[in-house]
Amino acid sequence: MDGASIIAAVDAVARETTLFASVGFILGGLDDLAVDAIYLTRCRAILRSESHRIASLGELAPAPTPPLAIFIAAWDEANVIGQMLRHALERIDYPDYQIHVGTYPNDRATIAAVAQVAECDSRVRLVVGPTEGPTTKADCLNAVWRAMLRDEANGRPLPTAVIVHDAEDVVHRDELRVQAALIRDHDLVQLPVVPLMDSGSRLVAGHYGDEFAEAHGKMLPVRHAIGAALPLAGVGCGVRTEMLRRLADERGDGPFDGSSLTEDYEMGLTISRLGGRAVFARITEYPGGPAIAVRAFFPARLDSAVRQKARWMVGIALAGWDRIGWGGRGEIADHWMRMRDRRALVAVLVLMAGYIGVVSTGIAILAHYATGIAAPPVSDALHWLLTGTFALLSWRLAMRAWFTGRLYGWREAAWSLPRAMVGNFVSLLAARRAVTRYIAMLFGSPPVWDKTDHRFPDIEAESARQ
């Protein structure tokens, strides 16, 4: 093959991958634009509706303080669980609650860390499950649920609701008051999740802040506004005990699906199917103040972020399709939102094609310049596709920067632009891992809790932040 043929082949690769990526970006961009249009045209109604009003803590109607329980599943969390529990016990402003921590018999370090706190405070309940770990987070939570039922059989009344948290969470002092006020009229309450910005991992850990700022600032209110089911975030989500009983009766082994890698996401959709009422609680500490939200550090290393994103892809985009299917007949909004949830792998293919197109186009330009061979003209169709792609991409980046800026300030809004590239790179790596794990599961491999290392923030520093 001579040089001209090689250059022609590179031109063909550049043209076809760019065309494929442009069409994919246009379709995905229009999908995102539809969500933005709903948010912008119905923003005031969404945020001031009964379920999603932006209210301060003082505006909540006075409410009784029913007993509540916090469930925490802990596997290999000895380095954070003690700090987390002490911090929560010191800060939570609520008179009647208990923290149940699920552990595994082969994780002696975590058991010891929880036991040390439990010995000093009766509000902490150590649960050692019957199975060696790791299994799944849901399986561990089911062990905690069964332990709570045994307590009921021994005369201890069940709490009104259960709030799920992770071992690295910074629990807001007023969270249980918000949960108690809203759980009276709802079957589940989801608080916002606000990732803590890690100065040592501005790009990898920081991109979670951008994603959650947009997801919990726009996507969840839009889902509610169009009548779609509300998926849970896995932390800061409270569920009425009566609803948990219904779920346990339906599943047989407990309210949390032990065979799922994303039991939180599936639980929200299942509760909607059962007719449960959900609320996304956008409540601030005071008018114009910070949100009453769950805060935590997210993975700071690339490999940890890839593992976490791969688990989400498997549970939502792949296994979730098999496990929970689509919405009910005629539920167009729910079909649309589930399609958006599951488009991650398709988006990765489009991203890959886009990067190949950029690289091959650059190589082709250099080759034409070096050889003097004229480059083929760009067709009108491709020209307009590229123009549309650029416009939609600019809009997408602007929207993300705006939501990030509202939550973290203008400096982080500026950082959200390069972090978008980092997020794409994490997704590309996570997709390969997700497909490999999913294929293994299809051939009988059990789902395993592929957790990441956690760290808890300095308590005094976090108090100053609050």
Which is nearest to 318 in space by CA: 351, 341, 350, 348? 341
Do the beta carbons of residue 306 and residue 423 sit within 8 Å? no
Amino acid at the residue 315: G
Chain position carrying tokens 């040592």 = 200
Which residues lie below 8 Å from residue 192, measured CB to CB, with a gap of 6+?
212, 216, 236, 280, 281, 282, 291, 293, 294
- Round to whole Å and give the CA distance between 120 and 350: 54
Which has the minimum average pLDDT: 145-159, 220-234, 378-392?
Answer: 220-234
What the chain holds in terms of domains, given with CATH numbers, is 45-301 (3.90.550.10)
Do the beta carbons of residue 286 and residue 56 sit within 8 Å? yes
Q: Taking residues 102-112, what's their average pLDDT? A: 97
Q: Where does the pLDDT of residue 463 fall: very low under 50, low under 70, confident under 90, or very high at 90 and above?
A: very low
The DSSP symbol for 291 reads: B
Average pLDDT, the chain: 89
- Round to whole Å and give the CA distance between 212 and 400: 10
Do the beta carbons of residue 412 and residue 203 sit within 8 Å? no
Cα angle, residue 185 at apex, residues 182 and 191 outer, rounded to 5°: 30
Query: For position 392, what pLDDT does the model report?
Result: 96
Which has the minimum average pLDDT: 1-5, 33-37, 271-275, 285-289?
Answer: 1-5
Q: Assess whether pLDDT exceeds 70 at residue 465.
A: no
Count of residues making up the chain: 466
- Round to whole Å and give the CA distance between 239 and 256: 11
Which residues lie below 8 Å from residue 95, measured CB to CB, with a gap of 6+?
65
Which is nearest to 37 in space by CA: 225, 278, 251? 225
Q: Report helix, strand or coil for 361.
A: helix
Which is nearest to 162 in space by CA: 90, 245, 231? 245
Query: For position 50, what pLDDT does the model report?
Result: 45
Question: Could you tell me how far CA 225 lies from the centroid of its own chain?
Answer: 20
Which is nearest to 76 in space by CA: 102, 57, 55? 102
pLDDT tens, residue by residue, 171-193? 999 999 999 999 999 999 999 99
Query: For position 464, what pLDDT does the model report?
Result: 46
- Round to whole Å and give the CA distance between 77 and 454: 8
Q: Report helix, strand or coil for 195.
A: strand
- Round to whole Å and give the CA distance between 434 and 315: 9
- Round to whole Å and give the CA distance between 228 and 99: 32
Q: Assess whether pLDDT exceeds 90 at residue 271.
A: yes
* Residue 176: burial class (beta carbons within 10 Å; 0-12, 13-18, 19+): buried
Amino acid at the residue 194: V
Tokens of 462: 């976090």
- Residue with more model confidence, 63 or 252: 252
Q: Taking residues 8-28, what's their average pLDDT? A: 93
Q: Taking residues 106-118, what's their average pLDDT? A: 97
- Round to whole Å and give the CA distance between 411 and 168: 26
Which has the minimum average pLDDT: 38-42, 109-113, 291-295, 357-361?
Answer: 38-42
Alpha carbon distances (Å) from 355 to 18, 21, 348, 398: 9, 9, 11, 21
Chain position carrying tokens 């069940």 = 158
- Round to whole Å and give the CA distance between 260 and 252: 15
pLDDT tens, residue by residue, 403-444? 999 999 999 999 999 999 999 999 999 998 999 988 888 888
* Phi, psi for 205 (deg, rounded to 5): -65, -35
Amino acid at the residue 203: L
pLDDT tens, residue by residue, 27-37? 999 999 999 99
- Round to whole Å and give the CA distance between 214 and 340: 14
